[in-house]
A and B are shown apart, each in its own frame.
Chain A
Amino acid sequence: MIPEIGHLALIIAFVFAMGLAVIPMWGAVRGNSAALNLAPTLAMGLLVFVAIAFAMLAVSFLKDDFSVAVVAANSNSLLPAIFKFSALWGNHEGSLLLWVLILSGWMAAVSWFSHGLPSVMVARVLSVMGMIAVGFLAFSLLTSNPFERLLPNIPLDGNDLNPLLQDPGLIIHPPLLYMGYVGLSVPFAFAIAALLGGRLDASWARWSRPWTNVAWGFLSLGIMLGSWWAYYELGWGGWWFWDPVENASFMPWLMGTALVHSLAVTEKRGVFRAWTVLLAIFAFSLSLLGTFLVRSGVLTSVHAFASDPERGLFILIFLALVIGGSLLLYAVRAPTVASRINYTAVSRESLLMVNNLVFTVSTIIVLLGTLFPLVMDAFSLGKYSVGPPYFNAVFVPLMALVMPFMAIGPLSRWREDSAARWLHELLVPGAVVVVFALAVPLLFGGRFNVWIALAVLLSGWVAIGVLKDLWRRLGVGSGYGLRWQTLTPSFLGMATAHLGFAAVVMGAVVVTQLNEERDLLMEVGDVEFLGGYRFELTALSRQAGPNYMADQAVFEITQGDKPIATLIPEKRRYFASGQMMTEAAIDGSVWRDLEIALGEPVEEGAWAVRLQFKPMVRWLWLGGALIGFGALLTVADRRYRRQSMRQSAAVAEATGLAG
């Protein structure tokens, strides 16, 4: 009964989405305010019914209803309850439902927090998002119904959740990532709504900006958690593989980074308008492309659940409609909203343009490497793969190129600035950074490493730009006391995110350069030295878990006479699927991680073992978290609330429905 209620709720949600896609849009065209004002109600209805469907599926999972195909394929009665719940989105059908749930959540948020906006704008935004919901609900209902029953042959027990996904990381990584992915539909909908209304002005950018920052912040956190999960759960100590599925989430992030910065220019200075709209369209299109890549099964990946070609075709058509439709609209409408250039080459606008250029080109580079194998395959020109060296060779120089400008950006002035002033501001801090860059690499192992020197130079330069800006804002040394009120949430958010970026670069370079790893055979009593630490295998044993049996190895790690840690890596065999899983053991700290993973038993009492020493690897995720939280912090800025209030009053006076 419960799955049928869920299915029915999903169908009703689809009807609400259809209504939302059509009625308010019609109202906007015909100037019918009753139809316009229906948008928030329809959005709420959509949320309620999608939430009911989601809850029904969750109940089916928690109650082990193996008559439901998805539950039977992805859960098991022995699975701990928390993983039964997260198994809901550990499969194609359920993750699609989560996608739609989060989309309706964003729609409800837009209707709640947009009391200041003209109702015609809200109606158009919600209607565009309603169209996206129609597409995904149709996809869910027609090709990937999560409530399909296995009748009459109900399995006695489920197939179990893929052991790789039985991890706390999986409980939060997909929802966070989807918050970001799907959240990019909000600036997209704002852009389309503005194009439809023909009003692409600074107020549009101001409405759109906090949403973009939040979505991008969640996307950053989601990607960061994904990398962290891959690091400890895949067990082999890698943190980024340039895997097509990683790229699928990374491309919207790169484009979103350009969008976040471009929106700043559009909001403050009213320029880059057409460009910003284009970026908003691209960012969301890349989200959809990512969904297509991951869900169509064209890729070899942990994310590519077994799937059929019908689904791929559906998303491909949907993708073509959304991208084609919005670009067509852009082509028709954008020229009417183009702006005049009223800034000079030495100004904050130009610096932000450099950011936009670099991040757009980076996106294209990643896109090229990701799609190349698919295109070649589609034309039967061979089955290629593009390896990490390609991405590193192009991506790393691009990031190095943008960093010198990152330090100047926050200090620079809008419209017109002077290179002499930049020099004056940054000469002394710059010299300090150069000294650091020459000295710090010597602290790591003695031998001078030019890559680490470069990383310290560039990250230090970015950090010093942020600190100098902080210094100047606070008015240190001005004799009037510190001006704390100048530290607005939007400044603090920007500063946090920039420092986070610097931390990511430091972590990435140091761990890549100084990483040590060794694969070897070890027996009880064997000792190995790595990175100045002594690893001793002291015992082997066998332990039973709730739904698996584990071989455990006990390692005592010491440095000199000082005991550092006892690590117990496991090799698990899951009962239901018989699948083997490596559970690595990690001793982590800010400066270094020690990781041990068990390979396989090779002969009597000897195991293949991988030992790893990874300096500063945590800076990657620490930095990623700072970027994400920085972005989320910016929405606390009072100016969005105040100005949207003021704006609403002005707009209500100035424009009627046709606006």
Chain B
Amino acid sequence: MHPARKQRLILVSLVVVLSSTAIGLAAYALRDNINLFYPPAEVAAGKAPIDRTIRLGGMVVEGSIERSRDELDTTFWVTDYKASVAIRYSGILPDLFAEGEGIVAEGRLDEQGVLIATQVLAKHDENYMPPEVAAALEGNTPRSAAPYQP
């Protein structure tokens, strides 16, 4: 084979092998590491899977935050004004976590439908609402809220 062509062949095969390996790896890693967002209404309706990591977001229900006395466990409810879901989290909550604020939590649902959160994200400034939460709340008003029962 002509050296220049051989050269090009090596080059092309290298590019193909490396990029397909990387893309394959990426697709594989992506499959296990994408987390779908569910509004509380869908979780309450049982549409969210219980065996994998999901994201759940909404407004923290007024008066629903319960802190454990001697550990860092916190339980609170989030709502999209259609339904409410309980979230349990162990650890330090973000500064802007508070009643009536929009948050997103990441974790797995347990058998009782409580989200065992590994991470709780609050907004970074007071005018800002996480886009998922904003979309989940769209059209719902506090008046149409389903009764929240702790």
Which residues in A have some Cβ–Cβ distance to B below 8 Å?
162, 164, 235-236, 297-302, 304-306, 340-341, 343-345, 353, 357-358, 361, 364-365, 368-369, 372-373, 382-387, 389-390, 393-394, 397-398, 519-521, 577-582, 597, 599-600, 602-603, 608, 610
- Residues of B within 8 A of A (CB-CB), count: 48
Query: Closest approach, in angstroms, between the C-beta of A634 and any C-beta of chain B?
Result: 28
Separation in Å of the B46 CB from the closest CB of chain A?
17
Could you give 27 example pairs across A and B, Cβ below 8 Å? A164-B124, A164-B125, A297-B131, A299-B131, A306-B128, A340-B4, A341-B11, A343-B7, A353-B11, A358-B18, A361-B18, A365-B22, A369-B26, A369-B30, A372-B34, A373-B34, A383-B135, A386-B30, A386-B33, A386-B34, A390-B26, A393-B33, A579-B96, A600-B92, A603-B69, A608-B72, A608-B92
Given known contacts A353-B11, A361-B18, A387-B33, is B126 in contact with A577 (CB within 8 Å)? yes
B7 and A341 within 8 A (CB): yes
CB neighbours of A602 from chain B (8 A): 67, 69, 72
B:13-27 near A, CB below 8 Å: 14-15, 18-19, 22-23, 25-26
Nearest CB in chain B to that of A383: its residue: B37
Q: How far is the CA of A368 from the CA of B25 in the complex (A)?
A: 12
Given contacts A162-B124, A162-B125, A368-B26, contact A385 B37 (CB under 8 A): yes
The docked-state distance in angstroms from the alpha carbon of A305 to that of B37 is 22
Least Cβ–Cβ distance between B18 and chain A, in angstroms: 6
Report which B residues bind A (CB closer than 8 A).
Answer: 4, 7-8, 10-11, 14-15, 18-19, 22-23, 25-26, 28-30, 32-37, 53, 55, 67, 69-72, 90-93, 95-96, 104, 106, 121, 123-128, 130-132, 135
- With a cutoff of 8 Å between Cβ atoms, the chain B residues found around residue A382 in the complex are 36-37
Closest 6 CB pairs of A and B: A599-B92, A383-B37, A393-B29, A390-B33, A302-B124, A162-B125
CB nearest neighbor in A for B7: A341
Known: A361-B18, A397-B25, A519-B72. A389 touches B92 (CB 8 A): no
How far is B22's CA from A84's CA once the two chains are assembled, in angstroms?
Answer: 46
Within the complex, the shortest CB–CB distance from A41 to chain B, in Å, comes to 42
The answer for the CA separation of A46 and B91 in the assembled complex, in Å, is: 52
User: Bound state CA distance, A345 and B19, in angstroms?
Assistant: 19
A597 and B34 form a contact (CB under 8 A): no
In Å, the complex CA distance between A236 and B139 comes to 35
Looking at the assembled complex, report how far the CB atom of A174 sits from the nearest CB atom of chain B, in whole angstroms.
Answer: 15
Rounded to whole Å, the gap between the CB of A349 and the closest CB of chain B is 10
Of the listed residues A385, A390, A581, the one surrounded by the most CB atoms of chain B closer than 10 A to its CB is: A385
In this complex, which of B11, B25, B72 has the most chain A Cβ atoms within 10 angstroms of its Cβ?
Answer: B72
Q: Secondary structure of the A side of the interface?
A: mixed
Q: Which residues of B contact A162 (CB under 8 A)?
A: 124-125
Question: With a CB–CB cut-off of 8 A, which chain B residues contact A520?
Answer: 72
Given the contacts A345-B10, A393-B25, A579-B126, A357 and B15 also touching, CB distance less than 8 Å: yes
CB <8 Å contact, B121 and A300: yes
Given A369-B30, A582-B95, are A300 and B131 also a contact pair (CB < 8 Å)? yes
Measured in the bound complex, the distance between the Cα atoms of B94 and A597 in whole Å is 11
B59 CB to closest chain A CB, in angstroms?
A: 15
A373 and B132 CA atoms in complex are apart in Å by: 11
Contacts of A164 in B (CB 8 A): 124-125
Which of B28, B95, B104 is A300 in contact with, Cβ under 8 Å? B104
In the complex, what distance in Å separates the CA atom of A519 from the CA atom of B92?
A: 7
Contacts of A384 in B (CB 8 A): 34-37
Q: What residue in chain A is nearest B6 (Cβ atoms)?
A: A345
The docked-state distance in angstroms from the alpha carbon of A158 to that of B69 is 39
B131 contacts across to A, CB distance below 8 A: 297-300
Q: Which residue of B lies closest to A304 (CB)?
A: B128
Is the CB–CB distance between A394 and B8 below 8 Å? no
Partner of B22, one of A301, A353, A361: A361
A539, B124: Cα distance in complex, Å:
30
Taking the closest CB of chain A, its distance from the CB of B79, in whole angstroms, is 17
Task: Please indicate the chain A residues that have their CB under 8 angstroms from the CB of B8 in the complex.
Answer: 341
Contacts of A385 in B (CB 8 A): 34-35, 37, 55, 106
A300/B7 contact (C-beta < 8 A), A357-B14, A390-B29, A519-B72 known: no
Within the complex, the shortest CB–CB distance from A373 to chain B, in Å, comes to 8
CA distance A382 to B38 in the complex (A): 9
Q: Which residue on chain B has the smallest CB distance to residue A164?
A: B124
